[in-house]
Amino acid sequence: MAELVPFAVPIESDKTLLVWELSSGPTAEALHHSLFTAFSQFGLLYSVRVFPNAAVAHPGFYAVIKFYSARAARRAQKACDRKQLFQKSPVKVRLGTRHKAVQHQALALNSSRCQELANYYFGFNGWSKRIIKLQELSDLEERENEDSMVPLPKQSLKFFCALEVMLPSYDCRSPGVGLVEEPVDKVEEGPLSFLMKRKTAQKLAIQKALSDAFQKLLIVVLESGKIAVEYRPSEDIIDVRCEEELHGLIQVHCSPWKQCGQEEEEYLSDFSLEEEEFRLPELD
């Protein structure tokens, strides 16, 4: 049976492993490295989080490990449960379970996570992005008289980006758009700070558009291990000013694509997520 892997934060319990009986000898940082090394051989990991045991329990640690693939999580659980792995005593590994009443809405991956997932399944040269339009929509007013005490209304930098992600091997292209607005005060911040904010807003618009493009793609992993791609146009309302303001900003001409080299991009640090509440399965 084929498995579907979306470009979304994995929150399903069948993609989450609970690992306990971890030794109290190493530090949490050392355990994080050992766990990542041991479990990443089964598939791409979204996160590895290590926590100290509760005060009422014996000293030691437990961990929550998230995969993008439920199939990879199952393989890791079967291979690592009751094995010593990197310590003298065996660890216990179980698939996470969540109360049925708890429901979470899927969260989109940020651009750096999307690229990491795409590189893993498609290869570094298996996809590329092409910026169709990058336009500044800022409407900044200059103060004619610097001595004037009349304050200017709050101003902001606004950038719109439209791009497409291209997958040559699958004859697939996915468009994405992003609009970013950053508050700015040219007088208080000075010219250097203003230029830095302008550059940051520009990059954020590109990253947001890239993430939006990947949200329309669904990775299909067949039982044979082969990869397919499904394109799903989004029906959600675009998170921008309004549809009328975007009209005319972008004109895409249908033309044969050509493979491009991936552009270098500075990534934002990944946002932090609060861990879902899990209950440990009963011990054997």
Residue 275's φ and ψ, nearest 5 degrees, are: -70, 135
**Mean pLDDT across the stretch 122-132?**
96
Q: Output the pTM of the full model.
A: 0.76
Mean pLDDT for the stretch of residues 73-90: 94
Select the more confidently predicted residue: 109 or 151: 109
b/e burial code for range 140-162 (CB count within 10 A of at least 16 → b)? eeeeeeeeeeeeeeeebbbbbbb
pLDDT (average), residues 269-277? 35
CA distance 121 to 220: 10
Paired tokens of 261: 């080299």
Average pLDDT over residues 119-148: 81
When pLDDT is cut at 50, 70 and 90, the band that residue 268 belongs to is: very low
pLDDT at 246: 44
pLDDT, residue 186, reads: 60
The chain-wide mean pLDDT, for the chain, equals: 79
Average pLDDT, stretch 244-270?
36
Cα–Cα distance for residue pair 40/22, rounded to 1 Å: 18
Measured CA to CA, the distance from residue 257 to residue 175 in angstroms comes to: 13
* Burial of residue 114, with CB atoms counted within 10 A of its CB: 0-12 exposed, 13-18 middle, 19 or more buried: buried
Backbone angles phi, psi at 267, to 5 degrees: -95, 150
For residue 18, pLDDT beyond 60: yes
Predicted pLDDT of residue 140 = 66
Domains of the chain are: 9-93 (3.30.70.330), 109-143+151-229 (3.30.390.80)
Q: Has residue 255 got a pLDDT over 80?
A: no
187 falls in which pLDDT band (50, 70, 90)? Answer: low
State the pLDDT confidence band at 106, using cuts at 50, 70 and 90: confident
8 A C-beta contact, residue 100 and residue 94:
no
Q: How confident is the model at residue 100 (pLDDT cuts 50, 70, 90)?
A: low
